[in-house]
Chains A and B, each alone.
Chain A
Amino acid sequence: MSIAEQGVAIAEAPSDDIVLDVRDLQTYFFLRRGIVKAVDGVSFALRRGEVLGLVGESGCGKSLTALSIMRLLPKGSARTIHGEVLLNGEDILEKTPNEMREIRGRKISMILQDPQTSLNPVFTIGEQLREAIFRRTRGRTREVMREAVAALRRVDIAAPEQRLGQFPHQMSGGMKQRVVGAISISGRPEVLIADEPTTALDVTIQLQYLKLLKRLQEETRMAILFITHDFGVVARMCDRVAVMYAGRIVECGPVDQVFDNPSHPYTQALIASVPKMTGSTERLYTIEGQPPSLMDLPVGCRFAPRCPYADQRCLAAYPPSFTVGAEHTADCWRMTAA
Chain B
Amino acid sequence: MTAGSLGEFEGQPLLRVERLRKYYPFTKGILFAKTLGQVKAVDDISFTIAAGETLGLVGESGCGKTTTSKLILNLEEPSEGRILLRGKPIHGLAGDALREYRARVQAVFQDPWSSLNPRMMVGRTIAESLIVTGWGNRTDIAERVRELLEQVGLRQDQATQYPHEFSGGQRQRIALASALASEPQLIVLDEPVSALDVSIRAQMMNLLKDIQARSNVAYLLVAHDLATVRHMADQTVVMYLGKIVEYAATQTLFDNVLHPYTKALFSAVLRPRPDRREEEIVLAGEVPSPLNPPSGCRFHTRCPFAMAHCSREEPPLREVEPGHLVACHLYDAAAAPAFARMKEEIVPT
Residues on B with beta carbons closer than 8 Å to the beta carbon of A199: 191, 194-195, 224
A159 close to chain B: CB less than 8 A? yes
- Which residue from B155, B191, B290 sits with its C-beta under 8 Å from A290? B155
Q: Which of B91-99, B126-134, B261-269 contacts A (4 or more CB under 8 A)?
A: B261-269
Return the CB mask of A258-273 against B: 1 if under 8 Å, else 0: 0100000000011101
Residues on A with beta carbons closer than 8 Å to the beta carbon of B191: 173, 199-200
B10 close to chain A: CB less than 8 A? no
B231 x A235 contact (CB < 8 A): no
For window 257-298 of chain A, which residues contact chain B by CB distance below 8 Å? Answer: 259, 269-271, 273-277, 281, 283-287, 290, 293
- Which residue from A59, A206, A273 sits with its C-beta under 8 Å from B202? A273
B87 close to chain A: CB less than 8 A? no
Residues on B with beta carbons closer than 8 Å to the beta carbon of A113: 168
Q: Which of B53-61, B305-313, B317-325, B332-340 contacts A (4 or more CB under 8 A)?
A: B53-61
A259 x B273 contact (CB < 8 A): yes
Q: How far is the CA of A259 from the CA of B224 in the complex (A)?
A: 23
Residues on B with beta carbons closer than 8 Å to the beta carbon of A277: 226-227, 230, 254, 269, 271
A231 x B224 contact (CB < 8 A): no
Residues on B with beta carbons closer than 8 Å to the beta carbon of A157: 287
Q: How far is the CA of A36 from the CA of B26 in the complex (A)?
A: 46
A220 close to chain B: CB less than 8 A? no
A120 close to chain B: CB less than 8 A? no
Residues on B with beta carbons closer than 8 Å to the beta carbon of A276: 227
CB distance from B267 to the nearest CB of A (A): 8
B104 close to chain A: CB less than 8 A? no
- Most A CB contacts (10 A, CB to CB) among B60, B61, B206, B225 go to B61
B280 close to chain A: CB less than 8 A? yes
Residues on A with beta carbons closer than 8 Å to the beta carbon of B268: 203-204, 206-207
Chain B residues with a Cβ closer than 8 Å to the other chain, count: 68
Pair count A-B, CB < 8 A: 187
B114 x A206 contact (CB < 8 A): no
Q: How far is the CA of A234 from the CA of B60 in the complex (A)?
A: 21
B227 x A158 contact (CB < 8 A): no
For window 172-205 of chain A, which residues contact chain B by CB distance below 8 Å? Answer: 172-175, 178, 196, 199-205
B9 close to chain A: CB less than 8 A? no
Residues on A with beta carbons closer than 8 Å to the beta carbon of B225: 203, 230, 275
B197 close to chain A: CB less than 8 A? yes
B202 x A285 contact (CB < 8 A): yes
A156 close to chain B: CB less than 8 A? yes
CB distance from B295 to the nearest CB of A (A): 16
The 6 closest A-B pairs by CB, nearest first: A58-B169, A174-B61, A232-B270, A59-B167, A159-B289, A284-B202
- Give A residues with C-beta under 8 Å from B: 29, 36, 55-60, 63, 74, 113-114, 116-117, 153, 156-159, 162, 165, 170-175, 178, 196, 199-208, 229-236, 259, 269-271, 273-277, 281, 283-287, 290, 293
